[in-house]
Amino acid sequence: MPVSSKQFQPPAQSQDIVVAFDFDGTISTSDSLRDFVRHAVGPGRFTLGLISASPWLLGMLLGLCDRASAKARFLAVTLAGTTQPALEEMARHYAETRLPLLVRPDMAARIREHRQRGHRLVLVSASPALYLKYWASSAGFDTVLATELEFRDGRFTGRLASPNCWGPQKVQRLQQWFGDNPPHSLYAYGDSRGDREMLALADHAWLRGSIVMPQIDAWPAH
């Protein structure tokens, strides 16, 4: 049965402790979007997609094109026109068979520890919710706040249905999910510039590569 983002709902009661995790580079060892597309369409079409989208991807690196446009172009030339059921099945299979191989063991252990303490887990990612929702559900996350893809007449249009969940958008999506029930304490884990605003929002923030990941009980306030 397909997992819908609508199945992840905010709580009716006040949230005591919330833990927000970035995915790519933080939980995973590499970029999951490129890996998913390669897995879904094969190396030949994947390479052609990279070549076709290269002006947008290069423009993004040079600051001449926004990340959302570059991402949408790459997805359009590789996956546009695919039926929603077919794409959901690709996503489910990828999340069950390939994606777990990219998960860092130390982060898998940290996710389990937070879950065992009764903390609410939120995956906040610029990568598509399309496949992340399947993995997050199996890993015990309470919700996924990620980039959504647009479908029309049962097919992927090649466009994004939501703003790219990167940088300031991560904070906006978190605050929308909190609603009138902000957490008493927020932990956040990230690894890049795209996580800066989310880490600044948190009471306890960890950026991969900055310091050794603290023990949960010994974490100093941000």
Rounded to 5 degrees, what angle do the CA atoms 31, 163, 43 make? 30
129-139 vs 84-97: helix crossing angle, rounded to 10: 40
* Model confidence band, residue 50 (pLDDT cutoffs 50, 70, 90): confident
Give the pLDDT score at 65. 63
* Model confidence band, residue 11 (pLDDT cutoffs 50, 70, 90): very low
Give tens-digit pLDDT for 90-127: 999 999 999 999 999 999 999 999 999 999 999 999 99
Give the pLDDT score at 64. 60
The predicted model gives 129-148 an average pLDDT of: 97
On whether the CB atoms of residues 164 and 146 are closer than 8 A, the answer is no
Domains of the chain by start residue, with CATH: 5-218 (3.40.50.1000)
Res 12 pLDDT > 60? no
On whether the CB atoms of residues 130 and 63 are closer than 8 A, the answer is no
Residue among 134, 145, 197, 140 at smallest CA distance from 171: 197
Residues in Cβ contact with 91 at an 8 Å cutoff, skipping those fewer than 6 apart: 36, 128, 130, 131, 134
Res 59 pLDDT > 80? no
| CA distance readout (Å), 38 to 2, 21, 35, 41 | 22, 24, 5, 6
The predicted model gives 163-173 an average pLDDT of: 96
Say which range, 1-5, 22-26, 88-92, 164-168, has the weakest mean pLDDT. 1-5
Q: Dihedral through CA 196, CA 201, CA 203, CA 209, nearest 10?
A: -10
Q: Is 90 helix (H, G, I), strand (E, B) or coil?
A: helix
Task: Give me Rg for the CA atoms of the chain.
Answer: 17
Give tens-digit pLDDT for 198-222: 999 999 999 998 888 988 987 766 5
* Model confidence band, residue 68 (pLDDT cutoffs 50, 70, 90): confident
Which DSSP helix (H) or strand (E) runs through 20?
strand 17-21
pTM: 0.89
Segments in 67-166 forming alpha helices (H): 67-79, 84-97, 105-116, 129-139
CB-count exposure of residue 78 (10 Å: 0-12, 13-18, 19+): buried
Identity at 96, one-letter amino acid code: E
